A = this chain, B = another copy of it.
Amino acid sequence: MDETLAKETESAESPPQKGTVTQRAIERIKAMIGEGRLEPGQRLPTERDLAAQLGISRSSMREAIRALTVLGVLEARHGSGIYVTQLEAGDLLETFGVVADLSRGPRLVELLEVRRILESTATALAAARITPDQLAEVEEHLAAMNATDDPEEIIAHDLAFHRAIAMAAGNETMAAILEGLSSRTFRARVWRGYQEEGAFERTRREHAAIHRALVAHDPEAARAAAAAHVGEVEEWLRSQLAT
């Protein structure tokens, strides 16, 4: 019954001891992926095997896996196994939405400032590169947004409108960041108050301006229109804070 000594014999480990066991496991797996020993889409060993390999309990290994799961690095399929995600921008930047959801006050303005910078550049790039097909999708959402007065639907198409433009800019990473910066709950929180001031008409005009610039393939006009569009919301939010 004296299994106490069994622990001492394991002293031949490489990393002496730093941080919690789970934290080390997270780093180990991250390193495996970083070094290319685990390819995107590849299936990992079972939780039980992984735990055995790293010499930790299954509980700790599960915490490590859960952590990497919320980070968008791993994906667990019940009954099937654990897989490495495609490690695409969308996978890894999903957590960005959490930042937007939990930010308040001054930080919301900072977030919008970042969005203004990125969105204006993305829209300018889109104006130069957008294809007829992509332009058609943008127009589709623009029309759908003007055809309804259900706030939910308006927000959804507003989001899709900007997403389509970001995609046309040809930088998936930027598109994913902007997606997070405009996450559903974030928009809902801001729009509630913003729309009460009859800002919908102004929004419609601003969207039309952006659309015109895209059709004309005029990057500078697109940049200005997009910056003004986000800037409007930004200024309104700034004024709200002063209250």
**Taking beta carbons and an 8 Å cutoff, which residues of A are in contact with B?**
22, 26, 30, 33-34, 59, 62-63, 66-67, 69-71, 73, 87-89, 92-93, 95-96, 98-99, 101-103, 107, 110-111, 113-114, 117-118, 121, 171-174, 177, 185
Contact = CB atoms under 8 A, between A and B. Distances in A.
Task: Report how many copies the assembly holds.
Answer: 2
Nearest to A93: B99
Given A117-B117, A121-B117, A173 B110 contact: yes
A92 B87 contact: no
A26 B102 contact: no
A185 B101 CA distance: 28
A102 B87 contact: yes
A70 B70 contact: yes
A177 B89 CA distance: 15
Contacts of A111: 173
Q: Is the interface of A mostly helix, strand, loop or mixed?
A: helix
Given A66-B67, A171-B113, A98 B73 contact: yes
Contacts of A177: 114
Contacts of A62: 59, 63
Given A67-B67, A92-B99, A117-B121, 5 more contacts: A33-B102, A66-B67, A73-B98, A92-B102, A114-B173
A30 B114 contact: no
Contact of A30 (B71, B92, B102): B102
7 contacts: A30-B98, A33-B102, A67-B69, A96-B96, A114-B173, A114-B177, A118-B118
Nearest to A22: B66
Contact of A174 (B66, B73, B113): B113
